């Protein structure tokens, strides 16, 4: 169990579906809660961006981007020491997990400022993955597990109403069949690259059929962006992808930063806590008097001998449970 105050990271990359997911029950908020004291969950969602602009942000380019006639030029304002994705030479931590969630804006119809053709969209995600995987890349991170997430569906009428209410034209800028094609392309890319894909499109569609057909606002608060109910479905997909592809990085397999508070009073434990696995610590917990008397070896090789007290600790736990008290 690490006693460092510098946790490894889980970085969430994407558009507004990622940026807004730090709201209650959102993907980012849920991951931050689940991985609390295990990984620092970092929001790198860029609302309105597509993969073309997101790739430039990833590479921290400081040049203007050609974006189309209605928005002549767009500048990626990454100045000073700001880093979208930390370079390997400047890290004091490991990036254990990365989620890459694009497609909602790329899949806008041709002629829209955010549109990126399907082939280019796939290539942009492939390049993001390569920046993390390629040993020659300044962003190389060999220990990082990558989870791709595809775009969810949207609700056309509600989205048009939202645009009109904001003073914009009530004209179609998206098509669900096109979004589905982009979502399928992410699944195909995941299979090609050997990466797990959290299928947000299928998960949100299923949630809508189950919960929201009579009230689409239960799934999309504005027709495009997700509610907590829909985000919960996406979070389930992401956690399932982690458990399947990188089980050692599932939240319940990672060590906790600093010891549990119930051990704080046992001063003789402090030097040895870094060598104890959380499961073994839990076994060694009894009532307050038992915990205070425990002496933990500072070397992993001595752990088996030290844990010979575990039988007595187990008896203390059983006694505490029998008397209706919390043994932990």
Q: Tell me: the pLDDT tens digits for 208-219?
A: 999 877 789 999
- Give me the pLDDT at residue 293, please: 35
Residue recorded with tokens 């041709």: 110
Residue 326 has pLDDT above 60, yes or no: no
CA atoms of 43 and 11, how far apart (whole Å): 6
Residue 29 has pLDDT above 90, yes or no: yes
Closest Cα partner for 128 from 27, 26, 28, 11?
A: 11
- Give me the pLDDT at residue 264, please: 56
- Give me the pLDDT at residue 68, please: 44
For the segment 163-182, what is each residue's pLDDT rounded down to a tens digit? 999 998 899 999 999 999 99
- The mean per-residue pLDDT over the stretch 70-77 comes to 41
296 against 172, higher pLDDT = 172
261 against 228, higher pLDDT = 228
- The mean per-residue pLDDT over the stretch 250-256 comes to 90
- Residue 25, both tokens: 């029950």
pLDDT-based confidence at 105, cuts 50/70/90?
very high
146 against 267, higher pLDDT = 146
Residue 41 has pLDDT above 50, yes or no: yes
258 against 67, higher pLDDT = 258
CA atoms of 199 and 60, how far apart (whole Å): 28
- Give me the pLDDT at residue 32, please: 97
CB contact at 8 A, 178 and 107: yes
- What average pLDDT does the chain have? 80
For the segment 118-155, what is each residue's pLDDT rounded down to a tens digit? 999 999 999 999 999 999 999 999 999 999 999 999 99
197 against 282, higher pLDDT = 197
- The mean per-residue pLDDT over the stretch 78-90 comes to 69
Q: In 3-state terms, what secondary structure has residue 26? A: coil
pLDDT-based confidence at 256, cuts 50/70/90?
confident
313 against 296, higher pLDDT = 313
- Give me the pLDDT at residue 283, please: 44
- The mean per-residue pLDDT over the stretch 186-199 comes to 99
- Give me the pLDDT at residue 266, please: 53
In order of their start, the domains of the chain are 8-253 (3.40.50.1110), 261-322 (no CATH)
Closest Cα partner for 61 from 140, 158, 155, 131?
A: 131
- Residue 54, both tokens: 């997101």
Helix H or strand E encompassing 22: none
- Give me the pLDDT at residue 229, please: 96
- Terminal Cα-to-Cα distance of the chain (whole angstroms): 17
- Give me the pLDDT at residue 215, please: 87
CB contact at 8 A, 82 and 37: no
267 against 149, higher pLDDT = 149
Question: Alpha carbon 126 to chain centroid distance?
Answer: 19
Residue recorded with tokens 């389930």: 236
- A 10 A CB-CB count for 14 gives 27
Residue 156 has pLDDT above 50, yes or no: yes
- Residue 325, both tokens: 């008290």
pLDDT-based confidence at 267, cuts 50/70/90?
low
pLDDT-based confidence at 263, cuts 50/70/90?
low
């Amino acid at each position: 169990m690490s006693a460092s105050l510098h946790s490894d990271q889980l970085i969430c990359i994407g558009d507004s579906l990622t940026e807004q997911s730090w709201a209650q029950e959102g993907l980012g908020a849920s991951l931050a809660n689940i991985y609390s004291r295990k990984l620092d969950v970092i929001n790198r969602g860029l609302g309105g961006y597509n993969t073309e602009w997101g790739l430039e942000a990833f590479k921290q380019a400081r040049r203007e981007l050609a974006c189309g006639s209605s928005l002549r030029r767009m500048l990626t304002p990454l100045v000073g020491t700001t880093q979208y994705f930390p370079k390997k030479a400047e890290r004091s931590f490991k990036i254990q997990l990365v989620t890459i969630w694009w497609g909602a804006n790329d899949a806008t119809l041709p002629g829209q400022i955010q549109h990126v053709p399907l082939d280019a969209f796939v290539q942009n995600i492939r390049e993001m993955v390569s920046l993390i995987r390629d040993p020659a890349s300044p962003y190389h991170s060999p220990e990082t597990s990558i989870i791709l997430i595809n775009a969810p569906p949207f609700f056309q009428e509600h989205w048009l109403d939202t645009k009109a209410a904001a003073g914009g034209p009530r004209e179609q800028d998206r098509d669900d069949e096109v979004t589905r094609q982009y979502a399928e392309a992410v699944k195909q890319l995941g299979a090609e690259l050997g990466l797990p894909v959290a299928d947000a499109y299928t998960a949100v569609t299923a949630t809508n059929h189950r919960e929201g057909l009579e009230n689409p606002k239960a799934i999309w608060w504005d027709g495009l962006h997700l509610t907590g109910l829909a985000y919960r479905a996406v979070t389930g997909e992401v956690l399932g992808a982690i458990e399947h592809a990188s089980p050692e990085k599932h939240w319940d397999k990672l060590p906790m930063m600093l010891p549990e508070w119930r051990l704080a009073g046992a001063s003789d434990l402090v030097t040895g806590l870094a060598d104890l696995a959380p499961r073994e610590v839990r076994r060694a917990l009894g009532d307050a008097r038992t915990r205070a008397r425990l002496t933990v070896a500072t070397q992993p090789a001595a752990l088996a001998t030290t844990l010979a007290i575990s039988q007595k600790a187990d008896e203390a736990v059983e006694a505490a449970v029998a008397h209706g008290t919390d043994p932990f």
